[in-house]
């Protein structure tokens, strides 16, 4: 019975994933006319601020393979990634008409340009290019980040007139601390018992957190953890892998499933990286919660190709992930034309070679429909490790 309950619970997240009209956000907003919905692009946004302002932060990760591009190609050249095309397509089609604002973190030039297109096409919406610091010195990057968050607070205040208090922001930080705790517990469970919770299921559960209220997502995570621990499944003869490079444009579910079917247990990945961006609890009882958010970002955030690392090489951090998750190898899985991921890949591959960690890489786009070649490559990689390691 537990397996059936677990499957039913996962279907709740799958339904949110399939809904390109963001019906959950629409229904949430309709319950109270003062409510506001703020969409955000990958990777990371301090959702605590949006929540503390009484608004719903909603992750926008593109339409994947579930929408044909008709209008989006008119705004971008052909030699860039796919996600901005589906985002503008959904917006122009009215899928996000009930959103009151959009945040575009500083991932790359493409997302920056997308924010400009939104400013031109949706003049009645709150639009902000949220420029995250690349200098991690407290006096430089910290000061810059404070100004960006203060600018965000002022912009949100203009939407609902709410004056953010220290107590409200501390309370939101505490709620999101619990969310991160549950996400980390689920990640540990997936790593220890990958036969109990598949990579697709794990992905869907985390992605649901970009749609639900954080309070509901916490309850949902508690349910998934309880049910997953009781799932009756036998381990299979598969290798353990870390996926690196899928932090922005998301791979189609079929591709994630293909990797598993090829003989790989995914025990760590950077898909839905924003849900795991802060690696520790943020103090929730300070007189200056903005400083707490700054410290968390500067000192306790995950590594990513979208962020410059001067003192802690990304290759060393990826190696540590492999060690911590007892992985047999790394799959470099990046979207086509993703400059941050593809520019970092040679350096990361060199680091894996230097540490005798097996790896191979491929590219995808979010609407990829044929996985045969990747399945053969991943299967060969798994067989090689099982036969010769």
Per residue in 314-331, pLDDT (tens digit) is 999 999 999 999 999 999
Query: Tokens 């998750």 belong to which residue?
Result: 325
CA separation for the pair 77, 68 (Å, rounded):
17
Rounded distance between C-alpha atoms, residue 155 and residue 305, angstroms: 28
Taking residues 191-213, what's their average pLDDT? 98
For the chain, list the strands marked E by DSSP: 36-40, 55-59, 101-105, 126-130, 239-244, 264-269, 329-335, 358-364
Q: What is the pTM of this model?
A: 0.96
Which sequence spans correspond to the domains of the chain? 16-162
Whose structure tokens read 């697709």? Answer: 200
- The pLDDT confidence band at residue 175, using thresholds 50, 70 and 90, is very high
How many residues appear in the chain? 389
Is residue 1 predicted with pLDDT exceeding 70? no
Token couple for 241: 């892998």
CA 208, 210, 212, 216 torsion: positive or negative? positive
Q: Are 152 and 191 in contact (CB under 8 A)?
A: no
Secondary-structure percent of the chain, ordered helix, strand, coil, rounded to 5: 50, 10, 35
Six-digit token pair at 209?
């957190």
DSSP 251: P
Residue 328 is predicted with a pLDDT of: 98
| Res 389 pLDDT > 90 | no
Strand order in the sheet with 55-59: 55-59, 36-40, 101-105, 126-130
Q: Which residues contact 205 (CB under 8 A, 6 or more apart)?
A: 10, 13, 186, 220, 221, 224
Fold (CATH) for 16-162: Rossmann fold (3.40.50)
Distance CA 203, CA 207 (A): 6
Token reading at 172: 């939101």
């Amino acid at each position: 019975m537990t397996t059936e309950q677990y499957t039913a619970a996962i279907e709740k997240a799958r339904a949110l994933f399939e809904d390109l009209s963001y019906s959950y956000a629409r229904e949430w907003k309709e319950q109270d006319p003062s409510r506001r919905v703020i969409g955000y692009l990958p990777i990371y946004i301090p959702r605590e601020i949006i929540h503390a302002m009484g608004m719903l932060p909603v992750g926008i990760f593109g339409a994947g393979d579930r929408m044909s591009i008709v209008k989006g190609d008119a705004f971008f050249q052909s030699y860039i990634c796919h996600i901005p095309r589906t985002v503008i397509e959904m917006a122009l089609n009215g899928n996000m008409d009930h959103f009151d604002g959009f945040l575009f973190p500083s991932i790359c030039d493409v997302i920056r340009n997308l924010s400009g297109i939104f400013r031109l096409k949706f003049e009645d919406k709150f639009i902000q290019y949220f420029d995250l610091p690349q200098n991690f010195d407290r006096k430089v990057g910290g000061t810059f980040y404070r100004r960006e968050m203060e600018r965000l607070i002022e912009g949100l205040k203009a939407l609902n007139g709410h004056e953010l208090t220290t107590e409200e922001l501390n309370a939101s930080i505490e709620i999101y601390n619990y969310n991160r705790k549950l996400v980390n517990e689920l990640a540990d469970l997936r790593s220890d018992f990958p036969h109990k919770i598949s990579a697709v299921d794990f992905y869907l559960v985390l992605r649901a957190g970009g749609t639900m209220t954080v309070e509901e997502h916490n309850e949902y995570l508690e349910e998934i953890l309880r049910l997953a621990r009781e799932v009756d499944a036998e381990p299979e003869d598969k290798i353990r892998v870390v996926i690196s490079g899928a932090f922005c444009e998301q791979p189609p579910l079929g591709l994630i499933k293909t990797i598993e079917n090829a003989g790989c247990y995914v025990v760590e990945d950077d898909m839905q990286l924003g849900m795991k961006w802060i690696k520790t609890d943020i103090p929730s009882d300070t007189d200056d919660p903005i400083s707490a958010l700054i410290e968390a970002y500067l000192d306790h955030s995950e590594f990513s190709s979208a962020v410059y690392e001067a003192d802690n090489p990304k290759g060393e951090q990826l190696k540590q992930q492999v060690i911590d998750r007892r992985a047999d190898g790394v799959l470099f899985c990046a979207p086509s034309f993703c400059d941050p991921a593809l520019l970092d890949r040679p350096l990361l591959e060199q680091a894996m070679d230097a540490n005798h960690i097996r790896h191979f890489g491929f590219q995808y786009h979010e609407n990829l429909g044929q996985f045969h070649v990747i399945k053969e490559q991943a299967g060969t990689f798994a067989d090689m490790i099982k036969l010769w390691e």
